[in-house]
Chain A
Amino acid sequence: MDSYDASESTPRQSTSLRPEDYFIGATFLQKRLESVRKQTSFIPTPPRRKIPHCSQLQEDVDPQKVAFLLHKQWTLYSLTPLYKFSYSNLKEYSRLLNAFIVAEKQKGLAVEVGEDFNVKVIFSTVLGIKGTQRDPEAFLVQGLTLSPRLECSGTILVYCNLLGLSDPSTLAFQVAGTTDTCHYTRILSKSQLPSENREGKVLWTGWFCCIFGDSLLETVSEDFTCLPLFLANGAESNTAIIGTWFQKTFDCYFSPLAINAFNLSWMAAMWTACKMDHYVATTEFLWSVPCSPQSLDISYAIHPEDAKAIWDSVHKTPGEVTQEEVDLFMDCLYSHFHRHFKIHLSATRLVRVSTSVASAHTDGKIKILCHKYLIGVLAHLTELAIFQIE
């Protein structure tokens, strides 16, 4: 491996590769391969990756926040580095983003019928979701609803004051027979007035993180904050509005991160390789058969312990996963299926992989189920995001 580094030089990379950086594996290799292929006819080497270790979360992680990130379907985006982003200005950013959202909604461009337009945005950092000390801190953006009754209660109190009555409940009896104001006061008297600081329901969540993003961090100057992975949960229109604000403010670019079948099979192998105490879900694969007139989906479910047994029989090098092992693992599944159904699954497209650790869909949707391997899964996704950016 080291001899290849000596032979070619990529102008962007100023530091040399250390052996412990090789677990980042495919990004460096793929980048080098692109440059190598242009210069010389070199035989490319297959990528290797390290199996994620469990409990890599650092001590200062808030378990409640981590639990909040699990068991949710996230849509993935890759994000170019943010220009002049500062962790100390988060309140300022919340304020600006709130104003922007209000302006956008008033413009009427992103109208969803029946949706509550009162959304308040909060920025917060999530400590501990990082791979190395160099990685920037992850931060979370949440869109909370403001209760509509807060506004109504404001106007009704004004009515009460104008009429000179201190007790709203008496109003109902004295002005019976008049119009709607009567109804509002009746509702108020029955229930408690909500306070200003009440937390609304979380409508939309997005978080930015970077795990083992050394290859990107090295190439970028000090003004930029590298958080290449963005995960969003919530309405598409909100994601679009918030994305536009970020793009305008920090001169960055979002692009949806699709996971191709090749990477999905890598994820399947790596997640099956993870040691688990107990399995919460079966290992499931979904293939899409490209045939006309309608597409056919094949779903293949395996007991997770059987999948682990297959993996253990295939796996040779401890602590590392190689391309051959991934191919062999998938070939075992394909040949078993072929023996029973005479269908070549290798001619179809892998669309979804679901294991006890996490589940991923080719459209760029991911759900992480196990907190132990959260960092490992995010590291793999960060790698894909960085590869897409580059």
Chain B
Amino acid sequence: MSVLRPLDKLPSLNTATILLVGTEDALLQQLVDSMLKEDCTSELKVHLAKSLPLPSSVNPPRIDLIVFVVNLHSKYSLQNTEESLHHVDASFFLGKVCFLATGAGRESHCSIHQHTVVKLVHTYQSPLLYCDLEVPCSWVPTSLSLLTWLAQGLSEWPGSQASAALTDG
């Protein structure tokens, strides 16, 4: 199947899964490491993908939050994100998608204007978080924000046990 749907799979016990979609491998790896270091009483799984659709050989569990990472220094990452968005079902956008824009701090390196990203985010009615993944001290607050959004997204879907556990952690 080429389109990700939120309710395709059964939820797993005490587990929450985040899918990070972005072209910047090295930066995302650092962010993922800092997210996994955070204290959670339930299990957190993070998947990394360069783009959607996911290859057919991969069979991910039920995804609770998709984070699209756009690097403001590279037009390629924006184009990649726009193409990946087509492969996500519309019901995902009810609180299970958020956008992460990195690199806004270094204005001289920006290839994309900020309002291009804002327009995209507005079209998809999802939250946008600005960060600078190249700066190590921003990894912890960014990962905390993503986990908060994950918990919020999960709590909107009744019957998930993971959300209560995540908010405690």
Contacts and interface: CB of A to CB of B under 8 A. Distances in A.
Interface of A: 33, 37, 41, 43-44, 46, 258-262, 265, 290, 330, 344, 346-350, 362
B76 A346 contact: yes
Given A43-B122, A344-B76, A350 B108 contact: no
Interface stretch (B38-46, B88-96, B111-119, B150-158): B111-119
A258 B77 contact: no
A260 B108 contact: yes
Interface string B117-155: 011001100000000000000000000000000000000
Given A344-B76, A346-B75, A347-B75, 6 more contacts: A41-B122, A44-B115, A260-B107, A262-B110, A262-B111, A349-B111
Interface of B: 23, 73-77, 79, 107-113, 115-116, 118-119, 122-123
A346 B77 CA distance: 8
A344 B119 CA distance: 24
Given A346-B74, A349-B73, A362 B108 contact: yes
Contact of A347 (B74, B107, B115, B123): B74
Contacts of A265: 111
A44 B76 CA distance: 22
B79 A262 contact: no
Nearest to A290: B73
Nearest to B74: A347
A33 B108 contact: no
A347 B80 CA distance: 10
What are the 3 closest A-B residue pairs judged by CB atoms, nearest first?
A: A347-B76, A346-B75, A346-B76
B107 A350 contact: no
B50 to A, nearest CB: 12
A37 B111 CA distance: 21
B23 A347 contact: yes
A362 B111 CA distance: 11
A127 B115 CA distance: 38
B107 A258 contact: yes
Contact of B119 (A44, A260, A347): A44
Given A37-B118, A347-B23, A260 B76 contact: no
Nearest to A47: B113
8 contacts: A44-B115, A260-B108, A260-B110, A260-B111, A346-B74, A346-B79, A349-B73, A349-B74
A362 to B, nearest CB: 6
